[in-house]
Structure 1
Amino acid sequence: MEWEKIFASRASRMKASEIRELLKLLEQPDIISFAGGIPDAALFPAEEFSKAYAEVLTGPDAVPALQYSVSEGYKPLREWLVGEMGKLGIPCAPDNIFIVSGSQQGLDYIGKVLLSPKDTALVTWPTYMGALGAFNAYEPNYDKLDPMTNREPSTYAEKAAQGGGRVKFAYCVPEFSNPSGETIPRAGRENILNLAEALDIAVVEDAAYQQLRYSGETVKPILALDIERNGGDIDKTRTLYCGSFSKTLAPGLRLGYIVAAQDVIRKLVLVKQASDLHSSTVNQVVMGKVAHKIFDAQVEKIRKTYSHRRDRMLEAMTKYMPVGVEWTKPEGGMFVWVTLPKGFDGASLLAKAVRDHRIAFVPGKAFHADGTGENTIRLSFSCASDDAIETGISRLGTLIKSEMAG
């Protein structure tokens, strides 16, 4: 059977995730890995989850927790999220919240609902490669979104028309972006909304790292600014806010959520009904119990740990990187983005780093929709000890210096 002959055209745009492949390196004990942008498993509230599962599966909630459920999501969990959204300046109701199987599924559903082949998605350069992977299946074109220096709106529309479609949405990670670690300031968020209004498109706000701020001033989410522009009514907004429990409580339960106007939530629910009916009921019930009990304390714990590791990595970068190398100084999140001198290739550097120095990172090219960014790399500090950071960054600096000299 020659499967390539019968695969849909969209299958040709589905590529293996470089990060998923690099995570296999974590199985090698002598590798110092700054590759996977994953939370530290040692910080998971495993005991609380164990107690919650036992309570749910041995009490009156056992039968409903093991049964089919509504596609929108477990209502008590959505009601808890209403309170959390209110703290962010996002007044909403449970009907504005949709539970998905990880925010990655949310991105896939958004692509399915909004993108027709040849439509254009506006994304930053660089952007989250998982978003590109989710959107690619729907055969879009991409154009560059620069929150601080957007082009005239008409140029986006004209380019999209030349590509055979229209602009459908602007996607960004405003808080401590994956991969750059940078935060879009309020002015940039307002610019994105201005552009979206001019083009009459949606805004997809990927807020996976919302709770991971370690320093600097808090900036209102784009959805909160959108609500303010629309008289406090979320149902008049154009922003879809994608949140996640993966970076705060546990990624293995695969639970995320979308907050948006009811019109778009209802359409997304139809996609879920045709896809997997609903996210795991028992996981939603357990997540609700654990979140109610320990969410704030858990967030404080991980902030303290990750903040320390960020500081150690930035100190090591200053200590060991040669002149000519630049890097971001994130106020939160999990990543430092490194720009190497022109002529460097991140993929080639990775091969030498793993082979000769036993360190790993993610080459930056995969985060660029246009295939540029060869001279960039992403470093994650979330799972690295002080010793690993000191040793690994020292080795990386030595490698870069030798490449610059050679």
Structure 2
Amino acid sequence: MTLAPLFAGRASRMRASEIRELLKLLDQPDIISFAGGIPDPAMFPHEAFRQAYADVLSGPGADAALQYQVSEGYLPLRRWLAAEMGRLGVPCDEGNIFITSGSQQALDYLGKLFVSPADTVLVTWPTYLGALQAFNAYEPHYERLTPAGGNMTPEAYRAAAAKAGGRAKFAYLVPDFANPTGETLSRAEREDVLDLAAGLDAAVIEDAAYQALRYDGEPVPSILALDCARSGGIEAARTIYCGSFSKILAPGLRVGWVCAARTVIEKLVLAKQASDLHSPSINQIVIHRVAETNYASQVAKARLHYGARRDRMLEALDATMPAEVAWSRPEGGMFVWMTLPPEIDTTELLARAVAEARVAFVPGHAFFADGSGRNALRLSFTLADDRAVGEGIPRLARLIAAG
């Protein structure tokens, strides 16, 4: 017997993550992987976490750490995050903060909250694969968001959304060192996104997973900060900010957050109550302890460490890649985006790269809502030490040059 015929129609939109599958290659010791966009474990504050867990479990708060938690999240952590958002130009308090099991859960909840079947979601071309996976289950129609300039007016987007059978609900984007391209939106481009959203009376979801990882260039205010300044405060803002501790402290604890108007937070709390009640109490308490004492220093260490790895990868690409290959030069984050000649399909190239060169990357089409981008690929430099870059990039270059 199979239960597949009983699956809801939306199940057909659920796709396996190519990145999750590629991470399995890390178990093969001879594979040089530029695939997974994951932090370097050497950067985790191991001792701080060991001490925090020991202190929590041996102290008077041990019972609370092992007990149920309020769905909004651990109050001291929410207050710390509210202060951190204030330093980013977003005046708010703990009532505007909601703790999630990683920012990925926030994307799922936001899809559930906003998207009805046939509603339109605006995303960049390409965009973060995990966002497409999160939104797909809610059966949206996708339209291309072009912050750097395009000919789609609010009226054109509105007409396209009506033709698809719904309305435009939100624009989703990663404005800082985007996954997968590494690109960063200028202040003017962020303001243009807010103008477009206002014209559509739609929300903006700002995925800020990489915001702290700037290696050079001038910081740009967050979209939420710009929104608060123009709207008069967070309660009138249309932007929803999704943050994460995964890239700075550690991803395994699965602690992320949302900063938004209370009307949004209240609905997200209801979604969490129906899903998993709350994020793990002990992880929230430990993250709070470690963030209070280590967050700033961890950011500084990560910038030096990953910035040097970015530089090494860009040097290797400059030295070895064929002239017809182009790539981004990110000011921060974790990724370099490569565009190959149009006749090269990077899904086919990946199979050859693994088999012949023992090198892995993520094919570009996974990041496009329409499956295009087949001649592009994403490289991650966070796990790429000097040996990996020195051996892996020339191998990949030779494979590309061979056609």
Please state which band the TM-score falls in when normalised by the shorter chain. over 0.9
Please list every run of at least 4 consecutive aligned residues from structure 1 whose deviation after the TM superposition is greater than 3 angstroms: none
- How far 1:2 moved relative to its partner? 2.4
2:73 aligns with 73
2:183 aligns with 182
- How far 1:74 moved relative to its partner? 0.3
Assess if the C-alpha contact under 8 Å between 2:35 and 2:380 holds in 1. yes
Q: Which amino acid counterpart does residue 156 of structure 1 have in structure 2? A: Y
1:156 aligns with 157
- How far 1:302 moved relative to its partner? 1.1
The secondary structure found in structure 1 opposite 2:47 is: helix
Instruction: Say whether 1:368 aligns with 2:368.
Output: yes
**Mapped partners of 1:149, 1:265: distance in 2:** 32
- How far 1:42 moved relative to its partner? 1.2
1:313 aligns with 313
Deviations 1:276-307 (A, max 9, x none): 11000010001000000111011111111000
**Mapped partners of 2:398, 2:340: distance in 1:** 13
**Mapped partners of 2:65, 2:321: distance in 1:** 52
- How far 1:26 moved relative to its partner? 0.4
Deviations 1:300-354 (A, max 9, x none): 1111100000000000000000111000000000000000011110100000100
Provide the aligned length of Structure 1 versus Structure 2.
Answer: 402
The secondary structure found in structure 2 opposite 1:252 is: coil
Assess if the C-alpha contact under 8 Å between 1:148 and 1:187 holds in 2. no
**Mapped partners of 2:216, 2:88: distance in 1:** 17
**Mapped partners of 1:245, 1:46: distance in 2:** 14
**Mapped partners of 2:135, 2:236: distance in 1:** 25
Assess if the C-alpha contact under 8 Å between 2:83 and 2:93 holds in 1. no
Q: Which amino acid counterpart does residue 195 of structure 2 have in structure 1? A: N
Identity %: 62
Assess if the C-alpha contact under 8 Å between 1:124 and 1:146 holds in 2. yes
The secondary structure found in structure 2 opposite 1:205 is: strand
The secondary structure found in structure 1 opposite 2:297 is: helix
**Mapped partners of 2:87, 2:364: distance in 1:** 34
Q: Which amino acid counterpart does residue 172 of structure 1 have in structure 2? A: L
**Mapped partners of 2:211, 2:85: distance in 1:** 11
**Mapped partners of 1:265, 1:165: distance in 2:** 24
2:103 aligns with 103
**Mapped partners of 2:321, 2:91: distance in 1:** 45
Larger mean CA deviation between 48-57 and 144-153 belongs to 144-153
1:216 aligns with 217
- Give 5+ residue unaligned stretches, structure 1: none
2:170 aligns with 169
Q: Which amino acid counterpart does residue 322 of structure 2 have in structure 1? A: P
**Mapped partners of 2:50, 2:132: distance in 1:** 35
Assess if the C-alpha contact under 8 Å between 1:11 and 1:137 holds in 2. yes
Q: Which amino acid counterpart does residue 220 of structure 1 have in structure 2? A: P
2:266 aligns with 266
The secondary structure found in structure 2 opposite 1:217 is: coil
Instruction: Say whether 1:191 aligns with 2:185.
Output: no
- How far 1:86 moved relative to its partner? 1.2
Assess if the C-alpha contact under 8 Å between 1:230 and 1:237 holds in 2. yes
Instruction: Say whether 1:285 aligns with 2:296.
Output: no
The secondary structure found in structure 2 opposite 1:78 is: helix
1:247 aligns with 247
Give the TM-score taking structure 2 as reference length.
0.99
The secondary structure found in structure 2 opposite 1:22 is: helix
1:34 aligns with 34
The secondary structure found in structure 1 opposite 2:278 is: coil
Q: Which amino acid counterpart does residue 229 of structure 1 have in structure 2? A: R
**Mapped partners of 2:60, 2:240: distance in 1:** 35
Assess if the C-alpha contact under 8 Å between 2:207 and 2:241 holds in 1. yes
2:275 aligns with 275
2:330 aligns with 330
**Mapped partners of 2:357, 2:163: distance in 1:** 47
Q: Which amino acid counterpart does residue 104 of structure 1 have in structure 2? A: Q
- Give 5+ residue unaligned stretches, structure 2: none
1:115 aligns with 115
Give the TM-score taking structure 1 as reference length.
0.98
**Mapped partners of 1:95, 1:11: distance in 2:** 34
Matches within 5 A, 1:35-54: 35-54=35-54
**Mapped partners of 2:84, 2:386: distance in 1:** 33
**Mapped partners of 1:181, 1:280: distance in 2:** 31
The secondary structure found in structure 2 opposite 1:253 is: coil
**Mapped partners of 2:402, 2:66: distance in 1:** 58
Q: Which amino acid counterpart does residue 66 of structure 2 have in structure 1? A: L
Q: Which amino acid counterpart does residue 175 of structure 2 have in structure 1? A: P
Q: Which amino acid counterpart does residue 204 of structure 1 have in structure 2? A: I
Matches within 5 A, 1:117-132: 117-132=117-132
